[in-house]
Structures are given as structure tokens and as C-alpha cells.
């Protein structure tokens, strides 16, 4: 029973493609998020960031689903906070 229970807990990956207002905003987010990829609180997940024009691509891989969910939620929260801050500074509506 234990082997069957843990088989669904194996890791996986998530690829988030977030289209932003401009390539400059993508670069700002890359700069803001880069330190998080270098000093993750856990070795159970790895994150790669890159840009394609106005699109920020976040690729997350993790050893287990709990780590995958936690990393995904963290990066989405950080992106949201950064986006709100940029919108407040530039006067753009979300």
C-alpha cells in the first residue's frame, strides 16, 4: 500500500508563460526574481527563468508534488506583487 500511495507523489514540472505589457516589464521581473532562483529555501525544486519578447517563462521542476505546488504558488505570488508594484509606479491599470 505504501508504494502505491507514494507513486502519485513523484515530482513533475510546470511551465508558466505570462504575457506582460512590455519587454521592459519582463526584464524587470527577471531581475527581481533571479535572486529567488539562486537561493531557494529547498533543494526539492529548481526554477529557470527566461523571456521571449513580452512573455516571461517560468519553468519549475520538483522532486515531489508538494514542492512543485509550493514553488509554483511562490513564483505566482511574487510575479503578482511585482506586477502590482510596476502598475502603481507607471499608473497602469491591471
What own/partner pairs with CB < 8 Å and gap ≥ 24 does 17-25 have?
17/55, 17/56, 17/57, 18/55, 18/56, 18/57, 18/58, 18/79, 19/54, 19/55, 20/54, 20/55, 20/56, 20/83, 21/54, 21/92, 22/54, 23/51, 23/53, 23/54, 25/54, 25/83, 25/86
Instruction: Provide the whole-model pTM.
Output: 0.83
Dist CA 9 CA 75 (whole Å): 21
Instruction: Between 94 and 50, name the one with better pLDDT.
Output: 50
pLDDT at 94: 59
What is the domain count for the chain? 1
pLDDT in tens, 39-72: 876 789 999 999 999 999 999 999 999 999 999 9
What's the CATH code of the domain at 21?
3.30.310.50
- Whether 2 is in a domain gets the answer no
- Whether 23 is in a domain gets the answer yes
Is 1 a residue whose pLDDT tops 60?
Answer: no
- Whether 46 is in a domain gets the answer yes
What domain range is 55 assigned to? 9-90
pLDDT in tens, 12-47: 999 999 999 899 999 999 999 999 998 876 789 999
Amino acid at each position: 500500500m505504501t508504494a502505491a500511495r507514494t507513486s502519485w507523489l513523484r515530482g513533475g514540472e510546470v511551465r508558466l508563460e505570462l504575457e506582460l505589457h512590455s519587454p521592459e516589464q519582463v526584464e524587470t521581473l527577471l531581475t527581481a526574481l533571479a535572486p529567488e532562483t539562486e537561493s531557494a529555501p529547498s533543494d526539492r525544486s529548481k526554477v529557470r527563468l527566461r523571456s521571449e519578447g513580452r512573455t516571461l517563462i517560468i519553468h519549475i521542476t520538483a522532486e515531489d508534488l508538494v514542492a512543485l505546488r509550493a514553488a509554483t504558488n511562490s513564483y505566482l505570488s511574487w510575479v503578482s506583487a511585482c506586477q502590482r508594484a510596476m502598475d502603481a509606479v507607471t499608473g497602469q491599470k491591471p
